[in-house]
Amino acid sequence: MDGRSASCNPYLTKTRTALLWSWILNTPFWAIYGMLPFILYKDLHATPLQIGVAFTLKPLVSLFAMYWSVWVNKRKDRLKGNVILAGFLGHLPFFFFPFVDNPWFFVASFSFYMLMARGAKPAWMEILKINIPAENRTRLFAYASAFEYLGGGVLPFVIGWLLDGYFQAWRWIFPFTALISIFAMLFQFRIPIKTDDTSIPVQEQYKPLVSQLLHPWRDVWHLLMSRPDFARFQLGFMLGGAGVMLMQPALPKFFMDVLNLSYLELAIALTLCKGLGYALTSPLWARWIHRMDIYRFLSIVTFLFALFPLGLLMAEWYSYWLYVSYIAYGIMQAGSELSWNLSGPIFAKDEDSSLFSTVNLLTGGLRGCIFPPLGAALCASFHPTLIMLGGTVLCLAATASMYKFSQEYLALEKA
């Protein structure tokens, strides 16, 4: 689709505008959101249990997000409402931050936002699949996410300076940035959705509660059994994601107790350096994902993830390795986000993609049941370095399995 025809297509232009402004307006909030576990550790003196629960719930809520997302399966008329309501509810708890002291409230808010954000992903992906052609969709998603990370890279200097210079300034930064993010609804309301009679049932048959709870699991299981190619992709992402999750509970302890970082140093690493790596390479990943099979694509991503803890360990002797590592992390995350978010439309092809994206939520939740609590438990008995190296081993296992599946896929293509 050329530029002239795209500008005459209201479905494409309004969807593109809504997506871009949603990411732009959420950038300030995302920059401070990623620092909340470290704020819990340093300012609220959260216990290791509370830190572990925060890192556990962040992926675990995907299991509950699945029920939010299943609401839109084969229901185009619900896609826009799903996105808008999830954005509003997810940011709502942060308006109470100036008035609450209990660390558990902050843990719950941290997790609830992720529940809503992930619950809306299948709806977003289906909206993009319906309204935007595949090539434009991949490029748009890559550039939009790159802008969010790059925009977030400008904010660390302000946020870090405020957090270090003003006592608990974060209490007011959170509600202010949440308010900015909510304004994206003005653009989301204008997204046009192509619907047809088959996507809006005249009357939905009542189902018992137990049946409603089990129904998404049955759909997911049936999809994985009928699509072994997609099941193989999920195996690789499960192993790689497990490695990343295992090391997360060890990072606050490693950064604060071993590296003795300030909030400004943390902010520069977590947002500026990661954002630069993400923004600079996101367009490259967007081109590569269409030039190789998705298994090989994911094997490259997981191999780079395996190198991340090694760079952090070097920061004990050479501080600049912290920033190098997070630039590399941003590069890896750009590929990871692209493959995770677009795997549904890629594997679905002409089918409804929302169930494929729901499987991503489910497997992410299952990883969250196991690996963050395992990492938190190991932190109580072992040095964080060992937990981080354990994450490297799991990422390398993912790389090996994805490379094997890629070879088998190429052999089938040639046959």
Measure the CA–CA gap between 263 and 267, rounded to whole angstroms: 6
**Coil, helix or strand at residue 87:** helix
Residue 4 has pLDDT above 50, yes or no: no
Instruction: For residue 45, give the 3-state DSSP assignment.
Output: coil
Nearest Cα to Cα of residue 12 among 140, 117, 197: 140
Structure confidence at residue 58 as a pLDDT band (50, 70, 90): confident
Closest CA to 126 of 195, 217, 32: 195
Per-residue confidence at 211, pLDDT binned at 50, 70, 90?
low
CATH superfamily of 3-188+210-414: MFS general substrate transporter like domains (1.20.1250.20)
Q: What is the DSSP letter of 204?
A: P
If you search the block for the tokens 């995770």, which residue do you land on?
Answer: 340
Compute the mean pLDDT over every residue in the chain, rounded to the nearest whole number. 80
In one-letter notation, the amino acid at residue 372 is P
With 50 as the cut, is the pLDDT of residue 372 above it?
A: yes
Unique residue bearing structure tokens 């600049």 = 320
Alpha helices in 289-353 (DSSP H): 294-314, 320-348
Backbone torsion region of residue 351, taken as left when φ is above 0, otherwise alpha when ψ lies between -120 and 50, otherwise beta:
beta
Global model pTM greater than 0.85: no
- What is the four-CA torsion angle of 126, 131, 132, 138, rounded to 10 degrees? -20
- Express each pLDDT in 98-137 by its tens digit: 998 888 998 889 889 988 888 888 788 788 878 877 667 7
Confirm if 390 and 306 have CB atoms less than 8 A apart: no
CB 365 within 8 A of CB 57: no
Name the one residue in this structure whose structure tokens are 């630069």: 276
Of the listed ranges 18-32, 130-144, 226-240, 336-350, the one predicted with least confidence: 130-144
Please say if the pLDDT value at position 224 is more than 70: yes
Structure tokens at 309: 């803890």
Q: Burial-class residue 139 by CB neighbours within 10 Å (0-12, 13-18, 19+).
A: middle
- What is the arithmetic mean of pLDDT over 216-240? 85
pLDDT-above-90 percentage for the chain: 10
Per residue in 151-203, pLDDT (tens digit) is 656 666 677 777 777 778 888 989 999 999 999 999 988 888 766 544 445 44
Instruction: Convert the pLDDT of each residue in 66-80 to its tens digit.
Output: 677 666 556 676 778
Place of tokens 């826009």: 80
